[in-house]
Structures are given as C-alpha cells and as structure tokens.
Structure 1
Amino acid sequence: MADRATGADRFRDLHHGRAPGDPLVLPGPWDAASARVFAEAGFPALATPSAGVAACLGYEDGATPADEMFAAVARIVRAVDVPVSADVEDGYGLAPKELVERLLEAGAVGCNLEDSANGVLKDPREHAEWLAEVRAVAGDRLFVNARIDTFVRGVDDPAAAIERAALYVAAGADCVYPIGAPVGVLPLLRSGIQGPVNVGGRPGEGPASAELRRLGELGATRITFGPGLQRRAERAVREIAAELLR
C-alpha cells in the first residue's frame, strides 16, 4: 500500500468532480481474499463493512472486539494496492487520538463512524463535537464518513437527517451517510446536504450498473453495500454445499 497520506488524498479526490450518473462504487471486502478480487476487478478503492467482517470472524454484527476488527482491516489493507476505508462502527468507545492512531496503524485511509450506539441515536451536537476531535487529530490523513442513523432508528423525517448532516460536515466530516434513507427522498437529501453523500446499494436487485447509475442520478456521490456482498457470497457457498450433498 502506498503511504497513507497519499492514499487518503487519492481516496478523497475520488469523491469530487463526479457526474450525477457516475457515483463512486466501493465494494465491501470482508477478508483479504475478497479484497483482492475487488481490487483485481478494477475498483479504485474499497470500504470494509463491519457486519461482513463480523460474520467472517464468527461474530454477530456489532459484537466484534475492537482488536479483532482492526486486525482484520490491516489484513485487508496488506492484500491490496488501492485505498481502503474501514467501518469501525461507533468507534468502540475509544478516545479520538487512540481511534485515529489505530486506524492509521491498520493502514486505513478513511473510516465510517455511526451516530448511534446500542440501538439509540446519540445527541447530534455531542457527536459532532466528537467528530471534530477526530478530525483535529487526523488532519487530512483520514477521510471521515459520518453515518446518520435516523432512518434506521425510526426517525423518518428527512429534515432530521439534514440537520445532523449539517452539524457533522461543519465538524469536519468529508462525507455523510444517511443509512436506510428511502430512495424517494434522496433528491431532497442531496439538495439539503453540503458535500458528498453515501448511499447504500442493494446487490442483486436488477441490473447492477443501471441501478447504481440511477442512485447516482438521484443524489448518491458514492455507493457502499454494507454486508450485502458478503451475504450474497455466503448464499453462493450454500448453493455449492447443497450441490455437494445431492
């Protein structure tokens, strides 16, 4: 992997100057082997999914010990020559300095940070202050994707997501991710949010390229898949296993 500062700059540049129908597509590798597959296919960067990595390590989503998650990210980074951003949930309770140090030690060029814990939304202003501390420690060495959990925590009003986005962008977030946002509200979110917007893709729902292009036209700057790709691969393995038993 190239030096981290260069990798972070490369990763940040991928998010800007994109045409509406040309979002940045970031597959989510769950281990070194899947990372190599995606990199060799030509994707310019990758974004690990915490749930997919958890499944690979034998944990439920949200139950992976921090040490094991950072070690898994490091193995993925070592396996490829493209920038890798890491989903580190809500930061595992780590102070900003330690969180940044551990991400950089793993070789990550960015991180995904959630604004809820144990199923409960965090106070947005307090979370913004924490994000600002992360940014102050990281400087330009990490691309910060601030996940907004309002939609998945039962708050359907897009205004709530837009309000949180404004706070997080002001705190230094490079991108925001209103996870679970209905496709129909993407144009509204796009018009109300400054900077790049991450949207979750759903692999397997129709022709992939057309669906990704549509999400880009609706407002997605970049598209990630959470554990969707890992779960699709798991289904394929189940089919192979069933064939072996016939």
Structure 2
Amino acid sequence: MFVEAGFPALATPSAGVAASLGYEDGATPPDEMFAAVARIVRAVSSCDTTVPVSADVEGGYGLAPAELVARLLDTGAVGCNLEDSSEGGLKDPRRHADWLAEVRAAAGDRLFLNARVDTFIRGVSDPAEAVARARLYVAAGADCVYPIGAPPEAIPALRAGIDGPINVGSAPGGAAELSELGRLGATRITFGPGLQRQAMAAVREGAARLRD
C-alpha cells in the first residue's frame, strides 16, 4: 500500500514485524525476522517497482559481520538498522564502532548502513553524548545515524555536530510536522512501529463495533 501511495523507499520496523509474528518486541528469532524481511521485499518487488527496502535487524542477533551481511543480502534488502544498546544498556561506543566497521567492510557498497544511537531512549538526554557516538559510527563507515527518541529541540545540535545524514523517528503525522523535522535538520524520517500500531488501532475499533 505504501508503494502504491508513492513512497520512494520503505523500512521494516522490528517491533511491527515482531507483533505480526506473535512475539514481543526484541524476541523475534533471527530466522523468522530474516524470512519476514524477505517476504516484504518480495511483496514490494511484485509491484513492478524498484522501491528499496531497508531492514531493522535490531542488534544483529549476535551474528558475525560477514554472516549478518550475507543473510541481509539474501533477503533482498538494500540496507539495515543496527542498534548500539542491548538488554544490559548502552554498548561501549568504540567497540560498537569497530564492529560496524567490520559490517561495512563485509558489505562494501551493497548495503546502506543506518547506525542507531540509543542514548535518548536509555536515559541520556545530553545531545553531546549522541553526537560523540554518531561521529564514531560515521567514521566507522555508517551511511546514516539514527538518534532514536531525540526530541525535536535536540535536532539542531545533532545536525550541527554530525557529518552526514541523520534519521529522525516520528509519529505518523501530517506534512507540516514532517516538514518541520526537515527544517530542524532531519535527513531521513522513519516511523518505527507507529504505522503498524495505527493499523491495529483501526482493527481494535472495528472489533469493538462488531462486539457491540
């Protein structure tokens, strides 16, 4: 439906895929996540379009960089999100940057690497910490950084401190809200599981009407 609506690129939300498969966010087995991504890519390809699909593969499921890249390419995805936190909290940024560099080396120019920066959702509100991590990830070869949970007022500081594209998350809204994020410095806007949750709200409302 988003291809038919004219969107030029798509990204899968790991939380939305998890919900569609009957799992809690973060609990999807990697084989099922990669299979779901492959089905989404096939569905998009069946629309006779060249719209690219990027995949949210969380923290990489503990896979070695070469295996992670191979499995992503097997799905037909052209890019991925990779997180810099786990259940234990934020990862060491330098070690994570080294790992991202290995992913970059394995992928070459075949994948768009979107490095998620989780400081804001892990309780670190100072944009300087997100900027410091983002700079390491860009130096490691990330094509884009994603300071997830960054409030709009932090975006100008992020834009000033980070070279390269910045992904900003947003609730599904109207053109005015999205244009404002672009004005503040966002290069790429994604919606996470917001669209899936919007669809589920409509289903819930329909179910209530049927019950009544």
Q: What range describes the TM-score normalised by the shorter chain of this pair?
A: over 0.9
Structure 2: how far apart are the matches of 1:193 and 1:119?
26
Which residue is 2:191 aligned to?
225
Query: How far does the alpha carbon of each residue in 1:35-90 deviate from its partner, in whole angstroms, 9 at most, with x for none?
Result: xx001111011000000000000000000000000000000000113100000000
- Count of matched residue positions in the alignment of Structure 1 and Structure 2: 207
C-alpha RMSD of matched pairs (Å): 0.7
Which residue is 2:13 aligned to?
49
Indicate if the aligned counterparts of 1:119 and 1:153 stay in contact, CA closer than 8 A. no
66, 70, 73: which is aligned to 1:104? 73
141, 145, 148: which is aligned to 2:110? 141
104, 110, 118: which is aligned to 2:87? 118
SS at match of 2:102: helix
Structure 1: how far apart are the matches of 2:166 and 2:59?
19
Asked if 1:40 is matched to 2:4, the reply is: yes
Percent sequence identity over aligned pairs:
78
Ranges of 4+ aligned residues in structure 1 off by more than 3 Å? none
**How far off is 1:227 after superposition?**
0.5
**How far off is 1:243 after superposition?**
1.2
Indicate if the aligned counterparts of 1:148 and 1:177 stay in contact, CA closer than 8 A. yes
Which residue is 2:101 aligned to?
132
142, 152, 160: which is aligned to 2:129? 160
SS at match of 2:66: helix
Letter in 2 for 1:153: R
Q: Which runs of 5+ in 1 are unaligned?
A: 1-36
**How far off is 1:119 after superposition?**
4.7
Indicate if the aligned counterparts of 1:53 and 1:69 stay in contact, CA closer than 8 A. yes
Which has the higher relative contact order, 1 or 2, with Cα contacts under 8 A spaced 6 or more apart? Answer: 1
**How far off is 1:182 after superposition?**
1.1
Q: How does 1:53-72 map to 2 (within 5 A)?
A: 53-72=17-36
TM-score computed with the length of structure 2 as normaliser: 0.96
Which residue is 1:196 aligned to?
165
Structure 2: how far apart are the matches of 1:99 and 1:40?
30
Structure 1: how far apart are the matches of 2:87 and 2:107?
26
